[in-house]
Amino acid sequence: MTELSFIHRYEPASEPARPPLLLLHGTGGDETDLLALGRTVSPGSALLSPRGKILENGMPRFFRRLAEGVFDEEDVRFRANELADFVAEARKAYGLEAPIALGFSNGANIAAAMLMLRPDALAGAALLRAMVPLQDAPKADLTGKRVLMVSGLMDPIIPVENSNRLAASLSESSADVQHETLPTGHGLSQTDLQLMLKWFAVSGE
């Protein structure tokens, strides 16, 4: 594995026409967590999967939080920029186009922050159980970037109002947002998978 600024896994593309994916795990996950999901939703894509550098009670995360649902926004900004720099390194090392982020929970939140702070780092994003990462995010130009957001109506961590606000904010930045709210909690369901398969099929055309 090439030495880069994040511990990571990389799988080269077997279908070069398909976009590369940046896989971003949730709290307590690691660089192997979303590989199977990435292979399933976008078969043949190159997969780039870093491990978050923050440890919370021994569990990897991508940024610090002060409490559940309360983020250290200075750290969010720092870590989003650090991750965007890693993506630039990896693109150079592996010869990749800008990837589409596929993030769950904490990983979805850092991906949303990257869209707001470093929009050029990503070609788009699939955000599973994401919430607003920054209360006063700069206005980014996300023209031409597709974003899938899938939220849970009964998610105990993310109020529906919060995920709606994130979807509205990304739309106002000119992203092409598809926001689906499912009758489920914070965990992923079969319907999440079906939505992603459909959404990524368009990305690969």
For the chain, the farthest-separated pair of C-alpha atoms sits apart, in whole angstroms, at: 42
**pLDDT for res 52:** 97
Residue with tokens 């904490």: 106
What domains, with CATH codes, occur in the chain? 8-203 (3.40.50.1820)
pLDDT band at 46 (very low <50, low <70, confident <90, very high): very high
Q: How far is CA 112 from the centre of its chain?
A: 7
Q: How many CB atoms lie within 10 A of CB 82?
A: 16
Residue-wise pLDDT tens digits, 91-127: 999 999 999 999 999 999 999 999 999 999 999 999 9
Q: How far is CA 55 from CA 29, 52, 59, 64, in A?
A: 11, 8, 5, 8
CA pair distance 186, 116, nearest whole angstrom? 23
Considering just the CA atoms, what is the radius of gyration of the chain in Å?
15
Residues in the chain: 205
**pLDDT for res 179:** 98
Residues tagged active-site: 105, 155, 186
**pLDDT for res 204:** 57
Residue-wise pLDDT tens digits, 2-35: 689 999 999 999 998 999 999 999 999 999 999 9
pTM: 0.96
Q: How far is CA 17 from the centre of its chain?
A: 21
| Cβ-based neighbours of 74, under 8 Å, separated by 6 or more | none
> What angle, rounded to 10 degrees, do the helices at 160-172 and 106-117 form?
30
Candidates 172, 37, 26; CA nearest to 109 is: 26
Query: Average model confidence (pLDDT) for the chain?
Result: 95
Residue-wise pLDDT tens digits, 75-91: 999 999 999 999 999 99
Q: How far is CA 194 from CA 37, 40, 82, in A?
A: 12, 10, 32
Give percent of the chain above pLDDT 70. Answer: 98
pLDDT band at 139 (very low <50, low <70, confident <90, very high): confident
**pLDDT for res 1:** 58
pLDDT at 205 over 70: no
